[in-house]
Structure 1
């Protein structure tokens, strides 16, 4: 924990964020490429613990915030505060605070969705985009409630439960079991079901995160002087569908990402939330999309495949930097 450089700053958006700011030994302001890493649900900056030092040692500056509702960052109660437009404004404000004009955005899970939308809301701030576990989906011209989405795609039915306000207290009442259920070993034939929380630990005793890390991750994840409603902020991300749709429709966001933007997508073949049809669809909207499958890996690839992620992303970025240098 002490090996990371922590900062807590009030942004121009009025919100206070905690983030790790890890600079390489070779850092040069204005010349060193910055990676802005965005975690998903339920996670925090600590989810990137295996990648931060690896990428910093490769010469990148690595910025990893606790996203809104998590860790040492502000935790508003209103779900509208968690719309992707507002989250992207916060990320842009972090770059402004650090005097960084452009960065590589890297996201996992909800972070993958957020950085993909960042590419639409702030296309001029991106050098490249790395998406992990959740493939790109374009803004929809029609609002589809989550409960309807769950009927169409049963593998996403858990989101309909998370959307309900009652989920906050129910999950808090069995938090350790909930986290163990999420971090269980990948099984493509077994969907995530909340009912499994009440069937005993044997259902999900084998997890991808070591118990010692799970305990520490929980402590870091909920590092807040106010422990009440500690799951409210994280679950609020699932309560933003209508807000997101209205904002994207009003802004007339495009479906396609910037045509010259390099994009890398990495996923685990045993991740039940990531289907081949969604991956193929993403190629239609991202001209420079490269996708890479991690065989026999599930959703939590930052931990399950920590060396693979560190190496694959690091090498991909180094190759991009070399190409850019060659063009100058």
Structure 2
């Protein structure tokens, strides 16, 4: 089977570039930061080979998709609207949605808000997080010396300036630094803190290693995309964290009711965030049809790239169980 094909569709008032492969029931694959459709390159083929129509968009603000200027054009309601419109643009009534990193909250909330459209959800790295009692940024750690990286991303222009100085270094440092191949961190050290005035990339190794799951061509692709588009679009997602909390107030206490699968690496820094151990252990309280939680040993943050076969196989198993024999899927 040849590789994915590419086209641009209209959805929710923007043009969205998609990579797609295969035919059959549709599975949407939503990437995170700082990535693109390309982060799902392994799953596009695996899902197509298994009898599914795999569709990986460049999400709003990334790659070949539109990047609105207004910061408040990147709320979760916009992002969920994009994928709802994408299902319609593909000529479908329903789909299964998967998401990694920032794509995971999009997937979880798409399933939460539109279970009529999304019949199943797969979350990688980031579990479904129910809406809390206060705005999220008020709970993020900060000291006189350092701030949580999501707070560092809040001021427009600051992170952009750092990251766009050398997009290749930025991408390579993030992909390696958050992977399971990076040096083990001190378990007692705070996770995700950026020194005030120090910059996010301050501790990037030199030279940066290439783990076996990542090639020079992979880095070239990502670096080329961000050299062209910049990082503002992706960073604007972080600048709506509190706005999302406000907008989702009508859904406080709501549960994700469709069948679900959650996967993460045991060396993923997200799993080490404060409170995540309890959230993951109790995820079925908020996602009642959670079929399985899979923790991949030795895997870091870039789940579907670091453990491509494991992730693809688990996704295919979940999808086949969800669709059943009536959909005539390939064995």
Q: Is the 8 A contact 1:162 1:235 kept in 2?
A: yes
Q: 1:199 to 1:53 in 2, by over 3 A?
A: closer
Q: Does 2:260 match 1:263?
A: yes
Indicate the residue corresponding to 1:273 in structure 2: 270
* Contact preservation (8 Å) 1:120, 1:253: no
Where 1:107 maps in the other structure, the secondary structure is strand
> 1:196, 1:203 within 8 Å by CA — same for their partners in 2?
no
| Aligned counterpart for 2:310 among listed residues 300, 308, 324 | 308
- Whether 1:49 and 2:49 are equivalent positions in the alignment is no
Inter-CA distance 160–196: structure 2 relative to 1 (3 Å threshold): closer
Equivalent residue of 1:88, what SS? helix
SS of equivalent residue, structure 1 residue 137: coil
Counterpart among 133, 140, 143 of residue 149 in structure 1? 140
C-alpha deviations, 1:250-276, integer Å up to 9, x for none? x33543111xx2110011011121142
Output the TM-score relative to the length of structure 1: 0.85
Q: Structure 1 residues 51-60 or 239-248, which shifts more?
A: 239-248
- Cα RMSD after superposing both structures: 2.5
Q: Which moved more, 1:15-24 or 1:137-146?
A: 137-146
Where does residue 243 of structure 1 map in the other structure? 243
Partner of 2:114: 122
Contact 2:265/2:299 (CA < 8 Å) preserved in 1?
yes
**Cα distance change, pair 196–79 in 1 and its aligned pair in 2 (3 A):** closer
Equivalent of residue 179 in structure 1, options 171, 187, 211:
171
- Give the 5 Å matches for 1:8-23: 8-11=8-11, 13-23=12-22
C-alpha contact 2:171 2:222 (8 A) present in aligned 1: no
Aligned to 1:29: none
Gaps of 5+ in 2: none
Q: 1:163 aligns to what? A: 154
After superposition, what is the alpha-carbon deviation per residue over 1:205-254, rounded to whole angstroms, capped at 9, x for unaligned? 354522221112222x3385xx4xx11101111100122112111x3354
Greater per-residue helix proportion = 1
| 2:3–2:45 Cα contact (<8 Å) kept | no
Unaligned runs of 5+ in 1: 25-31
CA contact (8 A) 1:8 1:16 kept: yes
2:87 aligned to which of 82, 90, 95: 95
Q: How does 1:182-201 map to 2 (within 5 A)?
A: 182-184=174-176, 185-186=179-180, 187-189=183-185, 191-192=191-192, 195=199, 197-199=201-203, 201=205
Shift of 1:200: 5.7
SS in 1 for 2:59: coil
Q: Distance in 1 between matches of 2:204 and 2:169?
A: 9
Task: Name the CA shift for 1:143/1:183 in 2 (closer, same or farther; >3 Å).
Answer: same
1:64 counterpart (53, 56, 65): 56
Once residues 268 and 22 of structure 1 are traced to their aligned partners in structure 2, the CA distance between those partners, rounded to angstroms, is 26
TM normalised by structure 2 equals 0.85
The aligned residue for residue 3 of structure 1 is: 3
